[in-house]
Amino acid sequence: MRSGIEDSNVLQARQDGMNSQQVFTDVACTLCGCVCDDLTLTVVNNRIESTKHACEKAASWFQNVETIVDRDRQSKDFCKVRGETSSLENALELGRTLLSETHHPLVYGLSSSSTKGQGLAVKLADQFGGVVDSSASAGHTPSVVAFQRVGESTSSLGEVKSRADVVVYWGSNPVESHPRHLERYTRCGTDAASRTGVSKSFLIVVDVVETETARQADLFVKIEPGSDFEVLWALRGLIQGIELQEESCGGVSRDELVALAEKMTSCKYGALFFGMGLTQGPLSHLNVEAVLQLATDLHRHTRWVVRRMRRFGDVAGADNVLSWQTGYPFGVSLSRGFPRYQPGEFSAQHVLENREVDLCVMVGAEGVQYLSQEAVDSLSEIPTIVLKHQQTELPFTPTIEIAVQMYGVQSAGTAYRMDDTPIPLRSILQSDLPTDVEILDELLASSTRE
Ligand code: SF4
Determine the pLDDT at residue 305: 96
Is there a contact between 308 and 277 (Cβ–Cβ < 8 Å)?
no
pLDDT above 50 for 1: no
Measure Cα distances from 221 to 86, 95, 198, 203, 207 in Å.
Answer: 56, 53, 22, 11, 7
Predicted pLDDT at 344: 78
The verdict on the CB of residue 415 being under 6 Å from ligand 1 is: no
d(CA 420, CA 320): 8
Mean pLDDT of 354-376: 92
* pLDDT for res 450: 54
The CA distances from residue 64 to 20, 46, 160, 332, 367, in Å, are: 20, 13, 33, 36, 22
Residue among 29, 39, 428 whose CB has most ligand 1 atoms within 8 A, to mutate: 29
Domains, the chain, ordered by start = 8-67 (no CATH), 71-139+313-446 (3.40.50.740), 141-308 (3.40.228.10)
Portion of the chain with pLDDT greater than 90, in percent: 68
- Ligand 1 pocket check for 32: Cβ under 6 Å: yes
User: Which of 256, 338, 272, 266 minimizes the C-alpha distance to 306?
Assistant: 272
Q: What is the pLDDT of residue 116?
A: 93
* Segment among 16-20, 53-57, 409-413, 430-434 with least mean pLDDT: 16-20
Above 60 in pLDDT, residue 3? no
Residue whose CA is closest, atom 2 of ligand 1?
32
- Residue (of 149, 279, 293) closest to 233 by Cα position: 293
Looking at per-residue pLDDT, the higher value among 236 and 147 belongs to 236
Tell me which residue of 114, 177, 117, 64 sits closest to 425, measured CA to CA: 114
Q: Residue 32 C-alpha to ligand 1 middle, in angstroms?
A: 6
Which residues have CB under 8 Å from 156's CB, separation 6+? 419, 421
- Ligand 1 touching residue 418 (CB < 6 A): no
Using CA positions, which residue lies closest to atom 6 of ligand 1? 55
Measured in Å, residue 34 CA sits from the centre of ligand 1 at: 6
Say if residue 6's pLDDT is above 70: no
**Higher per-residue pLDDT: 278 or 70:** 278
Helix (H) or strand (E) holding 194: helix 192-196
**Candidate of 34, 61, 406 to mutate for ligand 1, largest count of ligand atoms within 8 Å of Cβ:** 34
Question: What's the predicted TM-score (pTM) here?
Answer: 0.84
Q: Do residues 33 and 417 lie in contact, with contact meaning Cβ atoms separated by under 8 Å?
A: yes
**Does any ligand 1 atom lie closer than 6 A to the CB of residue 178?**
yes
Residue 127: what are its φ and ψ, rounded to 5°? -65, -35
Q: Which residue has the higher pLDDT, 65 or 286?
A: 286
Contact criterion met (CB below 8 Å) for 285 and 143: yes
Amino acid of residue 183: E
Q: Could you report how far apart the first and last alpha carbons of the chain are, in Å? A: 32
pLDDT at res. 449: 57
Q: How far is the CA of 61 from the centre of ligand 1 (A)?
A: 10
Kindly give the number of the ligand 1 atom that is closest to the alpha carbon of 34.
Answer: 3
423's CB contacts (< 8 A; 6+ apart) are: 28, 35, 37, 414, 415, 416, 417
Mean pLDDT of 329-347: 91
Of the candidates 74, 79, 67, 13, the residue with the CA atom closest to the CA atom of residue 41? 13
pLDDT digits over 178-190, tens only? 999 999 999 886 5
Query: In angstroms, what is the span from residue 91 Cα to ligand 1's centroid?
Result: 35
DSSP state of 368: G
Q: Is the CB of 96 under 6 A from ligand 1?
A: no
Q: Hey, which of 180, 184, 428 would you mutate to test ligand 1's pocket, going by the most ligand atoms within 8 Å of its Cβ?
A: 180
Q: Quote the pLDDT of residue 96.
A: 95
Burial 199-213 (b: 16+ CB within 10 A, else e): ebbbbbbbbbeebeb
Q: Among the atoms of ligand 1, which is closest to the Cα of residue 179?
A: 1
Q: What is the band of 391 on the pLDDT scale with cuts at 50, 70, 90?
A: low
Rounded to the nearest angstrom, the distance between the alpha carbon of 180 and the centre of ligand 1 is: 6
Confidence of residue 12 (pLDDT cuts 50, 70, 90): very low
Q: Which of 30, 35, 36 to mutate to test the pocket of ligand 1 (most atoms within 8 A of CB)?
A: 36
Please compute Rg for the chain using Cα positions. 23
pLDDT score for 369: 84
